[in-house]
Amino acid sequence: MKRREVRELVFKTLFACDLGNDTDPFLLLEYITKDREMAGREAAYQPTKLSVSENRYARRLTSGVLSRKIELDEIIGSYSLDWNVERLGGAERSILRMGFYEMLFDEKLPPAIAINEAVDLIKKYGTSEAAKFVNGILGKKAEELPAGNLLQESKEE
């Protein structure tokens, strides 16, 4: 499975959490992954399971976004002029959180890739206007970043 597909599974998990689903996010991630496998059987294509490294990445991204949700929402709010975070659509909010998290805290991922991945996801789950909005907000932050990423997670994660 490609990282892009793993991000999509994480997005679905974050989106469900954002809608008020109080189920453990890792159980949601597991359920969404299994649901994908079942859909694969029905659609006659080979279902893929998460490898150990993909599972680790999905769990790290999910827990990272959720643990920094308040901080990420403050960042989003500071860049989305005249829009508070609660007014954003659920897909936009979840994708922006994930995009900012990857851009700011994933030392291996260049900001441009985090932006492209976020825009591609919102194109699939949102509108063309939402894609412009997500690209603009993440792009503004990327312009301000020094060489390399602004912030880094501790090596423990």
Q: 39 in a domain, yes or no?
A: yes
Asked if residue 78 is part of any domain, the answer here is yes
Residue-number span of the structural domain to which 12 is assigned: 3-144
Higher per-residue pLDDT: 95 or 28: 95
Determine, yes or no, domain membership for 54.
yes
CATH (domain of 124) = 1.10.940.10
Is residue 75, in this structure, part of any structural domain at all?
yes
- Supply the pLDDT for residue 39: 47
How many folded domains does the chain comprise?
1
Q: How many residues does the chain have?
A: 157
In a domain, 152, yes or no: no
Residue 66 placed within a domain: yes
pLDDT score at 34: 66
pTM above 0.85, yes or no: no
Per the CB < 8 A criterion, the answer to whether 142 and 111 are in contact is yes
At 24, the pLDDT band (50, 70, 90 cuts) reads confident
The burial class, CB within 10 Å (0-12 / 13-18 / 19+), for 121 is buried
Query: What is residue 80's predicted lDDT score, i.e. its pLDDT?
Result: 86
Q: Would residue 120 count as lying in a domain?
A: yes
